[in-house]
Every structure is written in structure tokens, then in C-alpha cells.
């Protein structure tokens, strides 16, 4: 997956409609995703990117917004990582070019 191509193909108006913390989270998820566009990240890493005030509900809302804008797909928010006692987000980066 060419992450730079994905960034170039997203319309600038899409990014302008996102809140700053949503944009930071999207960029983190894109950077964290693998070659197949899929990724897993914990809540601690998300909070470092977007702010320590992020609740599970807010993370879910942000992911839904990103999904509605065609930026994410296949989002799964798991209760927690037993080893770290924190939530885990599994996701796929949507490719706007198909």
C-alpha cells in the first residue's frame, strides 16, 4: 500500500471537515498500518496523538467519522488488551482510489 498516494488522493475538503484530533488520529493510523492497509493500535498510543482526554466513546466516535469520510474501513474497537489493561483498535485504511 502506497501511503503517500493515499494521502495525495484524499480530497483536501475531506481533511478540512475533520477536527484537528481526528486528523492527527488518521495520520497516526495511516502511519501505523501495514503493507496491506490493516493495523492494530492501543488506546495509549491514540491518546498520545490526540490528547489524554480521549475516552473509549470519543475514540469510537472519531473512528466512525473517519469511516463516514471514506478514510477507514473494518474498524473493531476491542475492550482492552489483557496485558496492558487498555483498549485495542483494529482497523483498515480505506483506499480512495479503489
Domain parsing of the chain, residue ranges: 3-93
Q: pLDDT-based confidence at 73, cuts 50/70/90?
A: very high
- pTM value? 0.85
Q: pLDDT-based confidence at 28, cuts 50/70/90?
A: very high
Q: What is the CATH number assigned to the segment(s) 3-93?
A: 1.10.10
Distance CA 44, CA 13 (A): 29
pLDDT at position 12 over 60: yes
Average pLDDT, integer, range 42-68: 86
Q: Are 32 and 39 in contact (CB under 8 A)?
A: yes
pLDDT at position 71 over 90: yes
Distance CA 17, CA 14 (A): 5
How far, in Å, are 66, 81, 85 from residue 22 at the CA level? 7, 23, 24
Distance CA 70, CA 48 (A): 24
Grid coordinates given for 25 = 488520529
Amino acid at each position: 500500500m502506497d501511503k503517500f498516494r493515499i494521502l495525495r488522493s484524499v480530497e483536501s475538503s475531506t481533511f478540512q471537515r475533520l477536527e484537528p484530533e481526528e486528523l492527527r488520529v488518521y495520520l497516526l493510523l495511516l502511519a501505523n498500518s501495514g503493507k496491506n492497509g490493516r493495523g492494530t493500535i492501543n488506546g495509549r498510543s491514540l491518546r498520545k496523538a490526540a490528547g489524554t482526554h480521549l475516552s473509549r466513546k470519543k475514540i469510537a466516535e472519531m473512528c466512525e467519522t473517519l469511516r463516514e469520510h471514506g478514510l477507514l474501513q473494518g474498524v473493531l474497537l476491542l475492550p482492552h488488551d489483557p496485558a496492558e489493561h487498555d483498549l485495542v483498535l483494529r482497523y483498515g485504511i480505506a483506499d480512495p482510489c479503489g
